[in-house]
Structure 1
Amino acid sequence: MVDDASTTRRGRGRPPGPPLDLARRRTLLLDAAEDALRTGGSDVGLGEVAKIAGLSRSAVYAAFADRDALLDALAARRSRRIVDDLGSVLSTITDPRDQTRAAVDILAAWFEEEPVLAPVLMSRLSHAGAGDGSILDALVGILRAGFAARGSDDAAAEPWAHAIVGAVSSTVTWWSRTATMPRAQVVDHLTDLIWAGFSGVTPSA
């Protein structure tokens, strides 16, 4: 295998050609990392990712400093996809409670579809892309709308969002392992819990 980070090794089924630019290489590695995690679980190393991508190990390190950097980038990409999905759903939903349920269901659906990959990335997901359309930012916006609908100060939106992300993460991780109830039921329970908090919220003076 060639060790020059600027050179790529032709992967199986990939035609020969000029070296990939860094952006394309990163995308190829992120796709390979997802495949590796799905089949090998959380202990997959960069060597396996490089093998799947058809690149040298040094090419991996040219794109990502270490395994943590690769996983953080993978979580950020997934976060953007989830926020995009949420944006599409919220464009047709105006009620804040229904918006909250939709957000919880998108996460639960991801765990249902990706039972190996989702738990690996979830702990990194809440802050992935923070300040640039992260899941946390999206939830803060939903909660602020909920406070506004009740004529209340929205100062609690951010701490509530952090607490909710933690609770939802823990619950959907447990649910994906145990499958003790249908997805719709666990989503309803989480939505009820979140919105029960609003029963104690009073309008601003």
Structure 2
Amino acid sequence: MSQQSSDPRALPDADALEQAEALPPERNALDRLVARGARGAAWLILLAMAISVVEVGLRYGFNNPTSWVHESVVFLVAVSFALGGPAAMAKNAHIRVKVLYDGAGPRFKGWLDRFNDLVTLGFCLTMSYAAFHMFWRASHNPLGAWQLERSGTSWNPPFPALVKGVILFALALMTLQAALHLLQSLRARPAPQATAAPAKEVR
């Protein structure tokens, strides 16, 4: 009578798998810093909701509407939306199609990671260049003097220029993240693929 058994060293360790799943998705110190900052920036949404509630109470409870709440809410939401890009990159949470990636071997996955990081870096560089010109036009008059673009309302805050400045900051930060990710993927070595040990005959 024969019985087949495999070498336990060739099988993945359950504790190792649990530890791998528990590791944070951040790839470097900058990603960890961005992730912590994103948790603080998330409070901007709560602040926007709070001043919206105040506006509703003043408008319908005391017939005393404000002239600043609407623009402030739009500004806070726009800032949080722009900062979501670096946060998603830090947490590796961007939406992606992984049909080809999941079926690839370790070596091919490494090359796919390098290609993905290279394309991401090129995209971020291009968008940062466009954002720089957008912010320059919003922060300087035709003569080149510093003059922030304003909303043109009765309150007239410089929110348009500030939002474009935040967009430029977010894209520049994403460019730096993408460059570090590309360096890490170029230096990384594919992990050896686990293979089952040949079956042994037990008598």
The bucket for the TM-score relative to the shorter chain is under 0.3
In our comparison, the structure showing a higher alpha carbon Rg is: 2
Bigger relative contact order, structure 1 or 2 (CA pairs below 8 A, ≥6 apart) = 2
TM normalised by structure 2 equals 0.25
